[in-house]
Amino acid sequence: MITVQYFFEVTGTGFFAISGALAASEKARPDWFGATFIGFITAIGGGSLRDMLLGSFPLAWVKDVTLLYAIFAGVVVANVLYIPLLRLRKSFLLFDTLGIAMFAILGAEKALGVGAHPIVAAIMGMFSAVMGGVIRDTLTNEIPIIFRKEIYATACFAGAAIFVINAGLGVERTLNFFVSGFLIVVIRLIAHRMNLSLPKFREDGPPPIA
Amino acid sequence: MITVQYFFEVTGTGFFAISGALAASEKARPDWFGATFIGFITAIGGGSLRDMLLGSFPLAWVKDVTLLYAIFAGVVVANVLYIPLLRLRKSFLLFDTLGIAMFAILGAEKALGVGAHPIVAAIMGMFSAVMGGVIRDTLTNEIPIIFRKEIYATACFAGAAIFVINAGLGVERTLNFFVSGFLIVVIRLIAHRMNLSLPKFREDGPPPIA
Amino acid sequence: MITVQYFFEVTGTGFFAISGALAASEKARPDWFGATFIGFITAIGGGSLRDMLLGSFPLAWVKDVTLLYAIFAGVVVANVLYIPLLRLRKSFLLFDTLGIAMFAILGAEKALGVGAHPIVAAIMGMFSAVMGGVIRDTLTNEIPIIFRKEIYATACFAGAAIFVINAGLGVERTLNFFVSGFLIVVIRLIAHRMNLSLPKFREDGPPPIA
């Protein structure tokens, strides 16, 4: 299982870098350094923030440069397969969602492993999955995706919460991984397909006196 | 005192979440997830940054989920009492200022407690009070409030500095809390009422040759 | 060497604060607090992020307030010599580049010192030099300089990488400092003078179907 999980971590990191380089390229026409920087931030931002909040050092990419190689490879793939990747956006949504699901659950598990409360672990799982993109959007001066898009971070939070609950109930780890991850993928893909969104915090705008 | 202080910490965290959810709702029309996320960041951002800078782990909300419950409650209150809260903006300024004052002083005390130099402790107190709002503004693509508004972070810095100085002089803790906190509240409310601001760094703009 | 290095660290921190206060003043007309805050963030942001990523506590400015005095002094100098400094922008580019070069190399060395992999150390060197400016630009709602400007972060990465390689090869430390630092200065100044830039990640924009 360790080996399979590690394979997924490295692959997921590479996919995040592809996603970051594509996102950067679509709006800012960066140079190679900028695209790599954004791919890097997107890939390691969420997990790094989680570990810094947990005080869990060293960070994954600081102790394992294989993750950095995966990022560099992802940025090159994003360049070489740029047109096909943009054309295959729908397939890419699937890959992206698989990556997010995996990061959310691995992140929640890591937080549990250092003794975090279940609610905190679910938050950390969601952070692992989405905060890389949030930091990327903030640096490129975009309103972060989680405030704009369809159900996305919410799916990660829900899946991470289910994972944490199942873990507390003693559900076998591999089974729990697949059930919780499947939940994230299903929620996000259905929400995207059916254009579902959460209810607005307030249906009215601010009152005129504001 | 511990119990009273803890009561204030939890209440203050909830007020920060109300303030964050209101601020988010006024400009971005977020969904429930977005409003909660922004309320959360506003409430825990300053203290988390302080503790990450100090290397003081675990963070308060990671080890005590009561703070998270206070945040969730604050977001619900912001929704249910949305119109009255916006109408009572002037009263809310008072609550907001009380919260900021408390966070600034508790933050400075925490920094002193882990051995920080007095100047560093005053900075950490100010950070505890204002950086949650700064991170919130940055994520929602606003120029952070501390660069726009009347005397605000400056009041927090002044109060935290007085607290640190008094602590060094051996002033009794409870007294010091009230004196320093009162100073922050008075400075901010007077500055707001009288529309006071600090002098500009430069009265001229950049020279034409720039 | 320690004393010389410390002198450079303090001086470099002051220069970063000057640079930050000037940059803030050019666009946002801040008050004294805002200019000092931005000078502070610019000066300590990169090194603080590096140390937080490495889990290396306490941070430099938390344990040594001399760095804070250098920042305050830098902000005052930026105000008093505002017009001459803006006029002497070309000379200032040289000072700025010297500061960046020093931070990049000291940052890489620090990362090596806590056992980081050479690639990680080169990234940390680059972060030390540029992330203060990135955080400053993000807070003031600018697209960070590293995505806009000529070869800049790339020069820092290149110099830090050469330093790390040389250190691995056993090159004497002082010599290594000057060789690697000189490389950063030369790359940046030549790139600026000749208006060189890295190749774009993609020469085409996004395809119309995107």
Q: Which residues in chain C have their CB less than 8 angstroms from residue A138's CB?
A: 138
Task: Give the mean pLDDT of chain A.
Answer: 89
Q: What is the pLDDT of residue B210?
A: 38
A58 CB-contact burial (10 Å; exposed 0-12 / middle 13-18 / buried 19+): middle
Q: What is the pLDDT of residue C208?
A: 44
Q: What span, in angstroms and rounded, lies between the C-alpha atoms of B128 and B46?
A: 4
At residue C50, does pLDDT exceed 80? yes
Q: Which residues in chain B have their CB less than 8 angstroms from residue A199's CB?
A: 31-32
What are the angstrom distances between the C-alpha of B197 and each of B191, B203, C110, C129? 7, 13, 41, 33
Give the pLDDT confidence of B2-55 residue by residue, as tens digits.
Answer: 677 888 889 889 989 998 998 888 777 889 999 999 999 999 999 999 999 999
Chain C stretch 105-124, residues whose beta carbon is closer than 8 A to a beta carbon of chain B: none
Task: Give the mean pLDDT of chain B.
Answer: 89
What are the angstrom distances between the C-alpha of B96 and each of B43, B129, B133, C8? 12, 10, 12, 43
Q: What is the pLDDT of residue B3?
A: 75
Q: What span, in angstroms and rounded, lies between the C-alpha atoms of B82 and B99?
A: 19
At residue C135, does pLDDT exceed 50? yes
Q: What is the pLDDT of residue C210?
A: 38
Size of interface A-B (CB pairs under 8 A): 83
**Nearest CA distance, C186 vs chain B (angstrom):** 24
Tell me the average pLDDT across A30-46: 94
Q: Measured between CB atoms, does A70 come within 8 Å of chain B?
A: no
Contact criterion met (CB < 8 Å) for A34 and C201: yes
Tell me the pLDDT band of C99, cut-offs 50, 70 and 90: confident
Chains sharing 3 or more CB pairs under 8 A with chain B: A, C
Low-confidence winner among A129-143, B117-131, C174-188 (lowest mean pLDDT): A129-143
Q: Measured between CB atoms, does C58 come within 8 Å of chain A?
A: no
Contact criterion met (CB < 8 Å) for B65 and A142: no
At residue A209, does pLDDT exceed 50? no
At residue C112, does pLDDT exceed 70? yes
Tell me the pLDDT band of B150, cut-offs 50, 70 and 90: low
Rounded to two decimals, what is the model's pTM? 0.93
Give the pLDDT confidence of B44-81 residue by residue, as tens digits.
Answer: 999 999 999 999 999 999 999 999 999 999 999 999 99
At residue C116, does pLDDT exceed 70? yes
- Percent of chain A past pLDDT 90, that is, above it, reads 63
Residue C148, C-beta contacts closer than 8 angstroms, at least 6 positions apart: none
Tell me the pLDDT band of C150, cut-offs 50, 70 and 90: low
The DSSP call for residue B198 is: P
Of all residues in chain A, the one with the smallest CA distance to C137 is A139
Q: What is the pLDDT of residue B32?
A: 93
Q: Which residues in chain B have their CB less than 8 angstroms from residue A197's CB?
A: 31
C142 CB-contact burial (10 Å; exposed 0-12 / middle 13-18 / buried 19+): middle
Give the pLDDT confidence of A3-15 residue by residue, as tens digits.
Answer: 778 888 898 899 8
Q: Which residues in chain C have their CB less than 8 angstroms from residue A87's CB?
A: 207, 209
Residue C188, C-beta contacts closer than 8 angstroms, at least 6 positions apart: C97, C100, C101, C150, C151, C152, C155
Q: Indicate the residue type of C72.
A: F
Tell me the pLDDT band of A210, cut-offs 50, 70 and 90: very low
- SS3 of B14-26: the string is HHHHHHHHHHHHH
DSSP structure string for A138-149: HHTTPPPHHHHS
Contact criterion met (CB < 8 Å) for A199 and B59: no
Q: What is the pLDDT of residue A97?
A: 87
At residue A99, does pLDDT exceed 80? yes
Low-confidence winner among A91-95, B129-133, B161-165, C116-120 (lowest mean pLDDT): A91-95
Tell me the pLDDT band of C209, cut-offs 50, 70 and 90: very low
What are the angstrom distances between the C-alpha of A66 and each of A52, B155, C119? 20, 48, 11
ipTM (interface pTM): 0.91
Of all residues in chain A, the one with the smallest CA distance to B72 is A119
Q: Measured between CB atoms, does A138 come within 8 Å of chain B?
A: yes
Low-confidence winner among A183-192, B65-74, B112-121, C83-92 (lowest mean pLDDT): C83-92
Q: What is the pLDDT of residue C74?
A: 95
At residue B151, does pLDDT exceed 60? yes
